Chain A
Amino acid sequence: MAIVAEFLIAALILVGAFFLLVGSFALAKLPDMMRRLHGPTKSTTLGIGSILIASMIFAVAVRGSLSLHELLITLFIFLTAPVTAFMISKAHILRDKRERANLPPTGTTNGWATLDAPTPTEEPARAESR
């Protein structure tokens, strides 16, 4: 039992470190802001979840006491990582005018859907103009 738990903890730590490295390497390597956002928000979240699961198993198997701090950190990170990604992408959309000029033509007046006015009365007029 102890050797199985030890293998499991070591494998989870190594998997988590690998995914953290993948996310950070994607942040350093990828050429565009929107592409760069994928690495830290998905791969890094997976990596830190794996490391926190390894820490919970470590607390039960080695120290013999149940530890719930990791569950709190996991919950907080898994709740906040999409919010930070959404805020960063929204700030990027609203700031980068040069990026907006290079977008392919859409049926709307603006390239990104988040820049349109949120009034529902615009919908039939936009369909007619297309």
Chain B
Amino acid sequence: MITLACQIAIGVIGLSLLFNVYRLVAGPDVLDRILALDTMTVNAIALIVVVAMFFEAPVYFEAALLFAMVGFLTTVSFCKYLLRGNVIE
């Protein structure tokens, strides 16, 4: 039953990644694209965790943690660049 739930969840998270790709392509402003990228990293973390449960392998958690950190850093530095015109002043 966990395998079936993981398969359904992988499909649903793939669909939500497709929604994020739509917003990333069609976003009218650059901030919509930044928000779509941030949501995409969160969805990627969820996909990594569900795939790790599906294959019963604990190796993927470092990848999920790296995705969380890099996603946060990229979003904040994009917004900082838009606010100040510079990342590190």
Residues of chain A touching chain B, judged by Cβ–Cβ distance below 8 Å, are 6-7, 9-11, 13-14, 16-18, 20-21, 23-25, 27-28, 33, 36-37, 39-40, 44-45, 47-48, 51-52, 54-55, 58-59, 62-63, 67, 69-70, 72-73, 76-77, 80-81, 83-84, 87-88, 90-92, 94-96
Q: Are A25 and B16 in contact (CB under 8 A)?
A: yes
- List chain A residues, Cβ under 8 A from B53: 9, 13, 54-55, 58
Considering only CB atoms, which chain B residue lies closest to A22 in the complex? B16
Determine chain A's interface SS by DSSP, over half rule: helix
Chain B interface size, as a band, is 35 or more
Determine chain B's interface SS by DSSP, over half rule: helix
- List chain A residues, Cβ under 8 A from B62: 69
Q: Are B61 and A69 in contact (CB under 8 A)?
A: yes
What separation, in Å, do the CA atoms of A16 and B13 have in the docked complex?
10
Considering only CB atoms, which chain B residue lies closest to A25 in the complex? B19
Interface flags for B58-72 (1: CB within 8 Å of A; 0: not) read: 100110110011001
Residues of chain B touching chain A, judged by Cβ–Cβ distance below 8 Å, are 1-2, 4-6, 8-9, 12-13, 15-17, 19-20, 22-23, 29, 31-32, 34-36, 38-39, 42-43, 45-46, 49-50, 52-53, 56, 58, 61-62, 64-65, 68-69, 72, 75-76, 79-80, 82-83
